Amino acid sequence: MFERECFCYEIYVTKALLHFVSLFLAPTYANGLLTTFDPSKFDPAQAPAIDSNGLYVTATTTPYVNGIINGGKNSPYGDAVQKTSKTDFAPRFGLVWDQRGDGKTAIRSGFGVFYDSPSVGTVENFVPTNPPFVNFTSISNTNLSDPASGIADVNLSPATIGGVGPNWKQPYTMMWSFDVQHQITPSTVLDVGYYGSVGRHLVGILDVNMPQPGAFLSVGIPGPVSGANTQKLNQVRPFKGWDAINQFETIYTSNYNGLQAQLQRQFSTNSQVVVNYTWSHALGTASNDFRSPQNTYNIPGDYGNLDFDRRHVFSASYVYTLPWYRSQQGFSGHVLGGWELNGIFYANTGSYSTVSASRDPAGLGVLGNTNSSGRPDLVGNPQSGAPDRVDGWFNKNAFALVPAGEVRPGNEPRGTVLGPGYFRWDAALFKNTRITERFNLQFRAEAQNVLNHTNFNNPNVTFTSSLFSQITSARDPRNMQIALKLIF
């Protein structure tokens, strides 16, 4: 079981919050079995010989642990295998100004730094596969009554390992805003603001043992590298004796800028309408904790639209209580009174995807055990002349494989393909009936996607697939339900 402790404290001076200090201790393992790979502990002189097939020249029964650190044994971080940051100061400031002094216009602004503690299960995801505590032996031509009678298979393939980067830095976000809220009428409020943020030291996976682009040429491997030749890349990896080393590293960045507006109108009959609109742009080098760059040695080459970036987001919600027979007097009052309509409408532009290509012209090992994947070249605008059909959503001619003979990764950045937008209206009809002063009966009829509008998922973005640019699935169709609730 992993263990983690967190100590947080705040410093106040009068009514202003000056600093928030967070201390997230690095995870430890209860039995001292936590491991990871530390490049600074790797000894090239102890690296095994690798043959022309990318295999160990000689077999050994001793687990290969060159560069592996173990919590509580040889780790420079004690029971942990990663650094604990102890200077994570997070100042936060806020300002509210009633410009006219009449309580109708409020100007708000703020800035804050917020540290994140990633899931322990995420950052330690690869640990259960690392030596020396995890080893596998295969025995052929045996039987259950006498397993030792078989022949132990000798595995000469270097292992794929992973873990968390020892030089860990705590991920954090800096956020700021400037907002103006104005009461147009006693029941109508308009709110418009700018909101921005940047993310630093964000988590993502990095293959720290990726071969340098073109290194395969020095040992006579033909390009583009594919098939059995991918294993031969073990000859030219930086840390000999290992295959891919996929580590969670805090080296990624993001930024967000958005204009947000809201108009809210209250009515005297317990009814209201709220309309929201956001224009925003989210850019960065990794969209989540499991994203990897195509090329370990060119992180900025992965900068682009993030997966969750939606440029325009509109929503409108309403609650409308029918104004007649609100007191529900008599039979007609109980039948015709207490009706309520509510719902929410969404209209968003699409999210972004990145095209991948099952090809390795640079010899990065992207067809092997690495978490990275190859990409094609971007030679045009995917949205220009796009068919916008399920059998061809974007312009396929905007992408091309790296030309034969060129030894380099594809130049496509992150987030080049804009997917379908999202349009949905959820609606509900309520009937609230007073039975007695204590008991009320509520009838509900609800429909999600009441217009049964087809909202397609993103298209296939695998360049070498026969379904490239096609959409093969959609979100949920209309879903309806009714319910009866007794409230007392």
Q: How confident is the model at residue 14 (pLDDT cuts 50, 70, 90)?
A: very low
- Find, among 260, 263, 262, 261, the residue nearest to 280 by Cα: 260
**Tens of pLDDT, residues 378-407:** 999 999 988 889 999 999 999 999 999 999
Least confident segment among 19-28, 92-101, 314-323, 344-353: 19-28
Evaluate if residue 344 carries a pLDDT over 80: yes
Three-state DSSP at 121 gives helix
Q: Average pLDDT, stretch 301-312?
A: 95
**Residue 269, pLDDT score:** 77
Using omega within 30 degrees of 0 as the cis cutoff, is the peptide bond preceding 300 cis? no
378 is a domain residue? yes
Q: Which residue has the higher pLDDT, 142 or 101?
A: 101
Q: CB–CB of 417/352 below 8 Å?
A: yes
The mean of the pLDDT values for the chain is: 89
pLDDT mean over 116-125: 81
Is pLDDT at 19 greater than 80 in this prediction? no
Under the banding of pLDDT at 50, 70 and 90, the label for residue 59 is confident
Residue 129 backbone class (left: φ over 0; alpha: ψ -120 to 50; beta: rest): alpha
Q: Which residue type occupies 150? A: G
Neighbours of 240 (CB within 10 A): 18
Distance CA 202, CA 43 (A): 29
* Other beta carbons within 10 Å of 288: 14
Burial of 470 (0-12, 13-18, 19+ CB in 10 A): middle
In terms of C-beta density within 10 A (0-12 exposed, 13-18 middle, 19 or more buried), how is residue 164 classed? buried
pLDDT of residue 15: 39
Q: pLDDT-derived band of residue 3, with 50, 70 and 90 as boundaries?
A: very low
Whether the per-residue pLDDT at 129 is higher than 70: the answer is: yes
270 pLDDT band, cuts 50/70/90, is confident
101 pLDDT higher than 70: yes
pLDDT digits (tens, 9 = 90+) for 134-159: 766 666 667 777 766 666 566 789 99
Higher pLDDT, 465 or 138: 465
pLDDT at residue number 368: 95
User: Would you state the pLDDT for residue 7?
Assistant: 42
Q: Would you say residue 262 lies in a domain?
A: yes
Which residue carries 């530390």 as its tokens? 38
* Residue 176 resides in a domain: yes
113 assigned to some structural domain: yes
Any domain includes 210: yes
The residue ranges of DSSP E strands in 268-407, in sequence order, are: 271-284, 304-305, 312-321, 339-348, 352-353, 377-378, 399-400
Which of residues 207 and 72 earns the better pLDDT score?
207
pLDDT of residue 118: 84
Predicted local distance difference test score (pLDDT) of residue 329: 73
Residue-level pLDDT at 63? 87
CB atoms within 10 A of CB 289: 17
Quote the percentage of the chain above a pLDDT of 90: 69
> Which pair of structure tokens corresponds to residue 57?
């020249």
- Residue 285 in any domain: the answer is yes
Q: How far apart are CA 112 and CA 121, in angstroms?
A: 28
- What pLDDT does residue 149 have? 66
Whether 362 shows a pLDDT value over 90: the answer reads: yes
Residue span of the structural domain in which 234 resides: 93-120+166-311+349-419
What's the confidence (pLDDT) of residue 358?
93
Confirm whether 380 is domain-assigned: yes
Number of domains in the chain: 1
Could you report the per-residue pLDDT of 204-233, keeping only the tens digit for each? 999 999 999 999 999 999 999 999 999 999
Is 318 a residue whose pLDDT tops 70? yes
Tell which residue, 358, 362, 360, has the closest CA to residue 215: 362
Which of 79-93, 112-126, 270-284 shows the lowest mean pLDDT across its residues?
112-126
Q: Kindly report, residue by residue over 157-204, the tens digit of the pLDDT.
A: 999 999 999 999 999 999 999 999 999 999 999 999 999 999 999 999
Residue 42 has pLDDT above 60, yes or no: yes
d(CA 145, CA 142): 9
- The residues near 124 (Cβ < 8 Å, ≥ 6 apart) are 2, 27, 34, 163, 164
**For range 451-463, the mean pLDDT:** 96
Q: Is residue 235 part of a domain?
A: yes
> Which tokens sit at 314?
């509109």
**What's residue 10's pLDDT?**
37
Selected residue with higher pLDDT from 32 and 168:
168
Cα-flanking dihedrals φ and ψ of residue 230, to 5°? -65, -40
